[in-house]
Amino acid sequence: MRQGPPGFVLLAESFPMWKGDYLFLLQNMVVKDFKIRYRNMSLGVFWSLLNPLILMSVMTFVFTILVPNNTIQNFPLFVLCGLVPFNFFTGAWNNGTICIDNNAGLIKRVPVPREVVPIATVLSTCVHLMIQIGLLLAMALFYGRGIHWNWLWLPIVWVLAIIFVIGIVLVTSALDVYVRDMRYVVESACTVLFWAIPIFYYPSPEIAARFSYVFDYNPITALVFALRIILIDGNAPPLSLLGKFALSSCGMFVIGWFVFRRLKSRFFDYL
Amino acid sequence: MKVIEFSHVSKSFHRAAGQRLLRQYIAELFGGEDKDPFYALKDVNFSIADGECVGVVGANGAGKSTMLSLVTGLVPPTKGAVNVQGRIAALLDLGAGFHQDLTGRENVILNASLLGFKRSQAYDLYDSIVAFSEMAEFMEEPLRTYSNGMRLRLGFSVAVNVDPDILIIDEVLAVGDQQFQNKCIEKIFEIKERGKTILCVSHSGATVQQLCDRALWLDHGQLVMDGTANEVVQAYEGRQAASHA
């Protein structure tokens, strides 16, 4: 036997091991996604800031002037804590769902590990996310909530959210190969989520208790609550919230991983 | 040593994949058998030893491309086992994974990572790829601005410079102008002389006879003949001539 060359045995229902450099590949795929999205735009990355700023202004105008709501302080910061997670989630979910189909050329011609495609798509959305988190922190400073030790919770809650998004994208991107309607299901679900996630409202304790199944195990809602507790109240997020958040994120990731593994061997036939 | 081995390999496709209804997916999920599959390959057995140079001939739809997809590991067989040892370079579709908006350099590095290279290897390889393509001056331009010929040239350069143990060629011998074509053919012969394994699919009997020692003839998904390149090509071309007469 020669030393080192990758070999494989393909049995029915199996898939070969690809023995390359996963990190190098992932980095290249993320950079590619990011570059091609912005290369031909004159405003470039500035779009990542513009979109949430516009929505924040519109919503602030509506809910403080047109339909005044006096129970919520610092409304722009409050609404931005909802918008940034929502934008990240819907952007990553929508792009991620169609990513296998979009990369059909790659899937049909290069025996690259298929998981890399959805994971890279989600991670490339995280590049915008960084910019939007920067905006969020700038707003928090602007509203006089100075830098706080509890900000150290931010990386933890964001990583949990990213794990969740990768999990759900693994499921929907694999299903979308077989049933192309999946992308419309995702689009519709995002419209519903705009209302189901408390972006521009704060559920009163009675309402939150009554609809707890809508709020408790939805990781994006958990993220919104955690961001508000950290950035507006300056507190650490309660462990009960983090526990459910971690449980549903990791659960989703595990489900996604297995569903994707089960479905990927026949992508070739359906693309 | 056997580097490629097919034992009782079948590959079937659903008819009209993609337009099936939810009901059929659910039926399949619960273990229902596909009633009327289309067999692209049916019970194919052969093995290729280290250093052999094998051609595959057959009409359109005979299963040649499916066979190459199985060898490259793009798709698992429906039945049987495919065993492959060694690093494969596939000249299936030159520049698969290239992107229009990336520069030549970015595409080369991306492609190297897709082919499984480590970071240091990819950058080491970069210079020899560019030198082979003879397009150093265009490497910072986006691929969008390349002509079709230039794109194929770059794709070919990436694929042959990965130092494969097994080279898979799918009718792409004719790349670029005459001078570059000769260079490609020279490179393929050089790889052959270094004792690497080559699997070459072609409609052209002449190419197979020129490059290969042995040939396989596929017809409607079945392996009908396995012998020396001359024998198989003569039989295949004789049969084609007979069916036209």
- pLDDT value of position A4: 40
With beta carbons less than 8 A apart as the criterion, state whether B149 and B184 touch.
Answer: no
Report the chain A residue with the minimal C-alpha distance to residue B38: A269
CB-CB neighbors (< 8 A) of A264 in chain B? none
Kindly state the DSSP code that residue B145 receives in the 8-state scheme.
Answer: G
What are B81-132's pLDDT values in tens digits? 888 887 777 777 676 778 888 888 888 888 888 877 888 888 888 888 888 8
> Å from A251 to nearest chain B CA?
23
With beta carbons less than 8 A apart as the criterion, state whether B193 and B216 touch.
Answer: no
Kindly list the distances between the CA atom of residue B166 and the CA atoms of A130, B23, B110, B136, in Å, as whole numbers in the listed order.
43, 42, 21, 27
- pLDDT value of position A83: 92
pTM above 0.80, yes or no: yes
- pLDDT value of position B27: 66
Report the chain A residue with the minimal C-alpha distance to residue B81: A11
Confidence check: pLDDT of B34 > 70: no
- pLDDT value of position A5: 45
What are A25-80's pLDDT values in tens digits? 889 889 888 888 777 676 767 777 888 899 899 988 988 888 887 777 788 888 99
> Å from B22 to nearest chain A CA?
8
Higher-confidence residue of B63 and A14: namely B63
> Å from A51 to nearest chain B CA?
24
CB-CB neighbors (< 8 A) of A180 in chain B? 18
SS3 string, chain A, reads CCCCCCCEEEECCCCCCCCCCHHHHHHHHHHHHHHHHHCCCCCCCHHHHHHHHHHHHHHHHHHHHHCCCCCCCCHHHHHHHHHHHHHHHHHHHHHHHCHHHHCHHHHHHCCCCCCHHHHHHHHHHHHHHHHHHHHHHHHHHHCCCCCCHHHHHHHHHHHHHHHHHHHHHHHHHHHHHHCCCHHHHHHHHHHHHHHHCCCCCCCCHHHHHHCHHHHCCCHHHHHHHHHHHHHHHCCCCCHHHHHHHHHHHHHHHHHHHHHHHHHHHHHHHHC
Q: Compare CB distances from B74 to A1, A28, A268 and report the shortest one's residue.
A: A268
Rounded to the nearest angstrom, the gap between the alpha carbon of residue B124 and the centroid of all alpha carbons in its chain is: 25
Name every residue whose Cβ is closer than 8 Å to that of residue B18 and which is 6 or more positions away in sequence. A180, A270
- pLDDT value of position A2: 36
- pLDDT value of position B139: 87
Where do runs of H (alpha helix) occur along chain B? Answer: 22-29, 64-72, 104-114, 119-133, 148-160, 178-193, 205-211, 229-244
From chain A residues 22-51, the ones with a CB under 8 A of any chain B CB are 24-25, 27-29, 31-32, 35-36, 39-40
> Å from B93 to nearest chain A CA?
7
With the C-alpha atoms ordered B140, B145, B151, B155, is the resulting torsion angle positive or negative? Answer: positive
> Which tokens in the block code for residue B228?
């020396």
Candidates A178, A10, A264; CA nearest to B77 is: A10
Confidence check: pLDDT of B192 > 80: yes
Distance from C-alpha of B1 to C-alpha of B97, rounded to nearest angstrom = 32
**Main-chain phi, psi angles of A261, to 5 degrees:** -60, -35
Q: State chain B's mean pLDDT as an integer.
A: 81
Q: Look at A268 and B69 and tell me if their CB atoms are within 8 Å.
A: yes
- pLDDT value of position A18: 67
CB-CB neighbors (< 8 A) of B77 in chain A? 10-12
Candidates A73, A88, A178; CA nearest to A135 is: A88
Q: Look at B76 and A20 and tell me if their CB atoms are within 8 Å.
A: no
- pLDDT value of position A88: 93
Distance from C-alpha of B196 to C-alpha of B115, rounded to nearest angstrom = 18
**Main-chain phi, psi angles of A9, to 5 degrees:** -115, 130
Q: Look at A20 and B69 and tell me if their CB atoms are within 8 Å.
A: no
- pLDDT value of position B21: 62
HSE at residue B193, side-chain half, CA atoms within 13 A, is 6
% chain B with pLDDT above 90: 0
Sheet containing strand B53-57, strands side by side: B88-91, B166-170, B197-201, B53-57, B214-219, B222-228
Strands B222-228 and A8-11, how do they pair?
A: unpaired
pLDDT values of chain A reduced to their tens digit, one per residue, 271 residues: 333 445 566 655 555 556 677 888 889 889 888 888 777 676 767 777 888 899 899 988 988 888 887 777 788 888 999 999 999 999 999 999 999 988 888 888 887 888 899 999 999 888 889 889 999 999 888 887 778 888 899 999 999 999 999 999 999 999 998 888 888 999 999 999 998 888 888 888 888 888 877 777 789 999 999 999 998 888 888 998 899 899 999 999 999 999 998 888 878 877 7
From chain A residues 175-214, the ones with a CB under 8 A of any chain B CB are 178-180
What are B193-245's pLDDT values in tens digits? 888 888 888 777 777 888 888 988 888 888 888 888 888 888 888 877 777 66
With beta carbons less than 8 A apart as the criterion, state whether A245 and A223 touch.
Answer: yes
Burial readout B72-89 (b: 16 or more C-beta within 10 A, e: otherwise) = bbbbbbbebbbbbbbbbb
- pLDDT value of position A123: 92
